Chain A
Amino acid sequence: QVQLQESGPGLVKPSETLSLTCTVSGGSISSYYWSWIRQPPGKGLEWIGYIYYSGSTNYNPSLKSRVTISVDTSKNQFSLKLSSVTAADTAVYYCAGELMATIYYWGQGTLVTVSS
């Protein structure tokens, strides 16, 4: 059974870069597309983007200019960087395993607050 665990700072200052890492265990990193999804407090889900183990990526057009997703297959990890953050980027960030537009596996989520 695939398990995902997010890690990274829970507090980021405005205008800085948010960085999170997801560690994949219990399965091959080559089996799924690895995604980031976020959920602002009290609001709905937003798909951020995905990466395949080969390194190919695709991003939500609304965030594309600020997002970078990368993968480290040797560590079974993938990462998210979101630049120039504002309070609107405060959210629970989930890493997830996706296939055929279906999110099969979710991490537990990590709250990132943007505040000075």
Chain B
Amino acid sequence: QSALTQPASVSGSPGQSITISCTGTSSDVGSYNLVSWYQQHPGKAPKLMIYEVSKRPSGVSNRFSGSKSGNTASLTISGLQAEDEADYYCCSYAGSSTLVFGTGTKVTVL
């Protein structure tokens, strides 16, 4: 069970859109529509942003959206804002009732 692969960092200017990829295998991301995304500010607990690939919890801005193609899931942040600067982690069901997280991506707002 290896960690899902994410880019170490992604950056964008305010108002721009950015996309974070999350690459797994046919044993996790590719087999289940059970990918979630979490935002983590320094010193804080992660916060759920997207679940089941593309669903948004109540209270999460519609600037956040998720998708999946094959073994790769993606999180897109549109209309980038200063408050979006944080670490982002994907997570997938990996079979046999286990979960696997991504390596994490640091988003910087220029």
Contact = CB atoms under 8 A, between A and B. Distances in A.
A109 B97 CA distance: 23
Contacts of B92: 101
Contacts of B97: 50, 58
A8 B46 CA distance: 21
B1 A60 contact: yes
Nearest to B46: A106
Interface string A53-97: 000001011100000000000000000000000000000001000
A100 B38 CA distance: 15
Given A101-B91, A102-B36, A58 B98 contact: yes
Interface in B34-56: 34, 36, 38, 45-48, 51-52
Given A102-B51, A102-B52, A45 B46 contact: yes
A109 B102 CA distance: 19
A108 B45 contact: yes
Contacts of B93: 101
A62 B2 CA distance: 10
Contacts of A60: 1, 98
B103 interface: yes
Given A47-B101, A101-B34, 13 more contacts: A45-B89, A45-B104, A50-B97, A58-B96, A60-B1, A61-B1, A94-B45, A94-B46, A102-B51, A102-B91, A103-B38, A103-B46, A106-B47
Interface of B: 1, 3, 32, 34, 36, 38, 45-48, 51-52, 57, 89, 91-93, 96-104
A47 B2 CA distance: 12
A44 B22 CA distance: 14
A103 B52 CA distance: 11
8 A-B pairs with least C-beta separation = A101-B93, A101-B34, A106-B45, A102-B51, A58-B97, A47-B99, A45-B101, A44-B104
Contacts of B51: 100, 102
